[in-house]
Structure 1
Amino acid sequence: MAPLELQGNDDYEAIARAVQPVPRHRSHDPANNQKRTDPFQFGSRYLEEGDDVFEFNAWDHVETDADYREYAELQYLRQKESPVSEEARDKYNANPSKFWNLFYKHNASNFFKNRKWLHQEFPILTEVILEVGAGAGNSAFPILANNKNEQLRLHACDYSKKAVEVIRKAEHYDERYMQADVWDVSAEGEDSFPPGLGPDSVDVVVMIFIFSALSPSEWCRALRNIHQVLKPGGHVLFRDYGKGDLAQMLDAGRFQKKKAKLQSSTSSPDTEKVELN
């Protein structure tokens, strides 16, 4: 066989693949042995030795190693040594709607990415749905965009009236299928049901990063309210932060830096008090 003569503009990677094809990877599309694109099923991304760890933004079925667990334990200790002050806890828990409204006033719908993966992970999202903590609609609107059910009724509720305003003013807000309301999932008495809903009326409840936004004292009430609105056999789609996840590890370091800066800023009697936001 004559040797290959490569020209300046030749695709060296393509030639190498043709001569010695890359072994098929079980995380890749079997049709072309390349990174899967939508739609794909979660649980199919396997990290194997020699892989490019940045090919996907997350991998499935991966156990943390001893080094990471040791690092996580150190971060837990750092967080316990620097707890949020009682004054700050009382301040934010006493009037949370003020701070959520302020957040959505400045961020509107440009802070969170739309959760287009919801239909891939949860194909049952085609019935009566209640989303708790709907924010600016980053889950609700992707659900609506994929809807093929004329009977769909999507209740998007949030604690912040500003967030609800953002949803209602959005281009894709469609009252035929969607209703956005202010609702506190931990409310008691007459307010324990979302507007327009009653007992046993919802097929699916979506709760993404909700419990981490509540005070632990509100968790039981929130669960009771969700249970009473669900139909028998209904589903709760739940996602939240976990102990040792990357968000906690990164926040530990950031909080330490903010605290050090705060202490430095308030060390002089002539310096105004600085509050962490």
Structure 2
Amino acid sequence: MADPHSEGAPPTQVRKREQFGTRFLSDPSRVFHHNTWDNVEWSEEQAAAAERKVLENSAQRVCQEKQVDYEVNAHKYWNDFYKIHENGFFKDRHWLFMEFPELAPSQNENHLKDLLMENKRNEISECQSSKGGPGLTTSEEQPKCSSTGLGPKTQLAPEEETQNFSHLQICAKFPGSSATYRILEVGCGVGNTVFPILQTNNDPGLFVYCCDFSSTAVELVQTNSEYDPSRCFAFVHDLCDGDQSYPVPENSIDVIVLIFVLSAIVPDKMQKVVNRLSRLLKSGGVMVLRDYGRYDMAQLRFKKGQCLSGNFYVRGDGTRVYFFTQGELDTLFTTAGLEKVQNLVDRRLQVNRGKQLTMYRVWVQCKYRKPLQPSTS
């Protein structure tokens, strides 16, 4: 359920790009000359005012009965959202390729070649060694034999088959099992990240998985004319349900994409979600994120009575959103055993020149890598 309520221009990198990252507001009288200004520094007064506004709008909390409703019926609120807006709410995220070049593996073939070959050797070795072993049922116990598709499919009793989908993946074929590079987008919405990836990459070894909490959103992806089952697999998934299996084994994914999705989860469930996702990553694989930062305009606009808990709010449509600090995200990812590659705050001043309005946006962008594991062969 990638959050479509807010889409922004891509953040500024150390290496500036031609279009973005070069517009700096040095003369306040020129504020309406561009739609967006980069790297906008906040004054102490502005930061203090934002903090006061958050204290004010979070003083009155949503009652417990309604909080339970927003959690229990979260799928309903997201389905209703997509039924209303379908695929016309926000634009395709072509900017992602500049920020996260891992999403275009064909452009990084030399960099990834050794890593992919090492992963393949490990997978073959582990898969062969597990043949004939006892059946394993938990995701923590699965042997890592994701991309080879080696070994016979384990036979289970009918009543076990539904409950042990992850068991069936052991050394067996699964969607994209023959792929050499796999991307998983969590919270795919209607495909504004997935379809640009498929359009940009012609690599026959690429396979993209995408899931969303909303069955309506997934149906919109699957019925899109650009959906290709030979290159993509879309499925409904509840990130917070620890008993729900992913359609891929552990250690099988090269890149996991989280774009405005983690913020929609109850804060005390975030760590388990990230932990589970990290186990899906291959050695050297990365998890990339872009999400709401603390004191973003959207947070300051909430009224009293919309706050669920600290920095966690409910919108008028029943969907929820959290606003992160860099430190909070770093703790989530490093606790899951990942290493920091990037963790930055993107502050922008967006301008509505027609209405002469200014909007201060704050986003956080992260990239964390699973440590490389030595070969066991």
What letter corresponds to residue 223 of structure 2 in structure 1? K
Residues 87 and 43 of structure 1, relative CA distance in 2, 3 Å threshold: same
Q: Does 1:96 pair with 2:101?
A: no
Structure 1 distance, partners of 2:37, 2:283, is: 34
Contact 1:187 1:221 in 2 (8 A): no
Q: Which residue of 1 aligns with 2:225?
A: 171
Q: 2:246 aligns with which of 194, 203, 209?
A: 194
Please give the secondary structure, in 2, of the residue aligned with 1:240.
strand
Q: Which residue of 2 aligns with 1:222?
A: 273
Unaligned runs of 5+ in 2: 1-11, 106-180, 308-315, 319-377
List aligned pairs for 1:203-242, cutoff 5 A. Answer: 203-242=254-293
Structure 1 distance, partners of 2:194, 2:185, is: 7
- How far does residue 244 in structure 1 lie from its aligned partner after superposition? 0.9
Structure 2 distance, partners of 1:219, 1:49, is: 41
What letter corresponds to residue 70 of structure 1 in structure 2? A
- Bigger mean CA offset, 119-128 vs 42-51: 42-51
Contact 2:187 2:212 in 1 (8 A): yes
Contact 1:41 1:121 in 2 (8 A): no
Deviations 1:134-154 (A, max 9, x none): 011111112222113221111
Structure 2 distance, partners of 1:130, 1:55, is: 39
Structure 2 distance, partners of 1:95, 1:119, is: 34
Structure 2 distance, partners of 1:83, 1:121, is: 37
Contact 2:61 2:306 in 1 (8 A): no
Deviations 1:112-140 (A, max 9, x none): 22212111211110341100000111111
Deviations 1:191-228 (A, max 9, x none): 2x422x11011111110111211011211210111111
Q: 1:243 aligns with which of 286, 290, 294?
A: 294
Residues 83 and 58 of structure 1, relative CA distance in 2, 3 Å threshold: farther
Please give the secondary structure, in 1, of the residue aligned with 2:278.
helix
Please give the secondary structure, in 1, of the residue aligned with 2:31.
coil
Deviations 1:83-132 (A, max 9, x none): 22222211010121122111111111111222121112111103411000
Contact 1:202 1:229 in 2 (8 A): yes
Q: Which residue of 1 aligns with 2:239?
A: 185
Q: CA RMSD in A?
A: 2.6
- How far does residue 245 in structure 1 lie from its aligned partner after superposition? 1.2
Contact 2:251 2:283 in 1 (8 A): yes
Q: 1:80 aligns with which of 55, 58, 69?
A: 58
TM-score, structure 1 as length reference:
0.72
Contact 1:200 1:231 in 2 (8 A): yes
Q: Which residue of 1 aligns with 2:154?
A: none
TM-score, structure 2 as length reference:
0.54
Structure 2 distance, partners of 1:200, 1:276, is: 37
Unaligned runs of 5+ in 1: 1-26, 28-35, 260-274
Q: 1:47 aligns with which of 12, 21, 25?
A: 25
- How far does residue 59 in structure 1 lie from its aligned partner after superposition? 3.5
Structure 1 distance, partners of 2:35, 2:96, is: 16
Contact 2:182 2:207 in 1 (8 A): yes
Structure 1 distance, partners of 2:100, 2:266, is: 28
Structure 2 distance, partners of 1:175, 1:118, is: 23
Contact 1:157 1:194 in 2 (8 A): no
Structure 2 distance, partners of 1:201, 1:57, is: 41
Residues 276 and 110 of structure 1, relative CA distance in 2, 3 Å threshold: closer
Residues 213 and 50 of structure 1, relative CA distance in 2, 3 Å threshold: closer
Contact 1:136 1:163 in 2 (8 A): yes
Deviations 1:212-263 (A, max 9, x none): 110112112101111110111111110111111122122x2xx34999xxxx
Q: Which residue of 2 aligns with 1:154?
A: 208
If each structure's strand is expressed as a fraction of its own residues, which one has the higher value? 2
Structure 1 distance, partners of 2:84, 2:58, is: 31
Please give the secondary structure, in 2, of the residue aligned with 1:194.
coil
- How far does residue 56 in structure 1 lie from its aligned partner after superposition? 4.8
Structure 1 distance, partners of 2:19, 2:225, is: 29
Percentage identity across paired residues of the two chains? 37
What letter corresponds to residue 246 of structure 2 in structure 1? P
Give the aligned length.
220
Structure 1 distance, partners of 2:56, 2:223, is: 43
